[in-house]
Amino acid sequence: MSSIVTAASGKPVIGIGEITSTVGGNPASFQTMLETAISQTNKFDLIERSRMDDILGEQALSAGGIVQGGSGQIGGLGGVDYLIYGSITKLGKDSNAVAIGGIVGGGQKAVMSVDVRVVDSTTGSIRISKTVEDSAKTGSAFAMEGLAIGGEEADPLGDVQRKTAEAVAAMIAMEIFPLKIINVSKGQAYVNYGPPSVKKGNFYKVVELGEGFMDPDTGEMLGQDEVYIGALEITDSKSKYSIGKILEGKIERGQIAFGMGVKEGKKLKLAAKKRASAAKKKLNALKKKCKKKPNLAECESLN
């Protein structure tokens, strides 16, 4: 029985266990998309599906047994650090999801919801347990099996599954490896994630983490104080990192960033534009003033 080790790259090894569906159909396509999205985070070494099946077979452990299992330790699964399990609980029309195999017609918004659990294979404890939901708009009718019935637009079910897979992968990666500021230069901040986890147009709040606090009964770490530092908008995404325009605050290397709602982000962006416009007007007024009276003390700042 091998112990848990990280790969030669130094990255933790992650495997995808069983992905089930409560709405019918075959969730294998979603699992394939999730494998791709996990690889694209560049934070893990993903174990091959065939090897994952072998490991689970050797251990005689089902996905349900690991996820729900009792207090016993798994004791390591062939060098795998984390195991992902999921259940698709919604896939279909906006607020009235239907089972795979049913048909949704007309201009719609496809939605998908997945219950995700990430297990620490060393202890068997659940490291992450969250529900991830995403949506994709379409202007044409579509069939749940992926056959478009009107219009030549992309299949919204494929789109929503891919978007949800990317959201799940980003959530898992950032829970284990938080988004961090890796460089600051000329009003821009660089973060340690690229697409699809971080995309152009995303907004983030930047914080410094303070003292942690724990449950006095269980000893579980419940969280840490967050001191708001500033905000940024992603303007460019490279393969392994992204660049954002600093909207406000004194952002420095090593600080943590969390996702911000679009509405709040646009509000900060507008405020930043207003401040920049006001500063430009003030500078132009000073230049005009100093052109007439260059010996004023305040004109020294222009030199």
Smallest CA-to-CA distance from 199 within 226, 250, 227, 233 is with: 233
Tokens 């056959």 found at: 147
SS (H, E, C) 4-66: CCCCCCCCCEEEEEEEEECCCCCCHHHHHHHHHHHHHCCCCEECCHHHHHHHHHHHCCCHHHH
What is the full per-residue pLDDT of the chain (303 aa) written as tens digits? 333 444 556 899 999 988 999 997 679 999 999 999 999 999 999 998 777 776 666 555 444 544 444 333 444 556 789 999 999 999 987 644 444 455 555 556 889 999 999 999 888 889 999 999 999 886 555 555 544 444 445 577 888 999 999 999 999 999 999 999 999 999 999 999 999 999 999 999 999 988 888 888 888 878 888 899 999 999 999 999 999 999 999 999 999 999 999 999 999 999 999 999 999 999 999 999 898 888 888 888 887
Residue 63 and residue 57: Cα distance in Å, rounded? 11
CB contact at 8 A, 249 and 271: no
Residue 84 and residue 205: Cα distance in Å, rounded? 28
Residues paired with 181 in a beta bridge? 191
The total of other beta-carbon atoms located within 10 Å of residue 12's CB is 17
Residue 84 and residue 67: Cα distance in Å, rounded? 9
CATH code assigned to 13-176 = 3.40.50.10610
CA distances from 158 to 110, 119, 150, 162, 198 (A): 10, 27, 16, 6, 20
DSSP assignments along 150-208, one per residue: SS-PPPHHHHHHHHHHHHHHHHHHHHHS-EEEEEEETTEEEES--TTTS-TT-EEEEEE
Q: Is 250 exposed, middle or buried (0-12, 13-18, 19+ CB in 10 A)?
A: exposed
pLDDT digits (tens, 9 = 90+) for 56-111: 665 554 445 444 443 334 445 567 899 999 999 999 876 444 444 555 555 568 89
Residue 251 and residue 187: Cα distance in Å, rounded? 9
Where do the domains of the chain lie? Answer: 13-176, 179-260, 273-303
Range 179-260 has CATH code 3.90.79.10: no
The alpha carbon dihedral of 29, 42, 87, 77 has a sign of positive
301 three-state secondary structure: helix
Residue 201 and residue 171: Cα distance in Å, rounded? 18
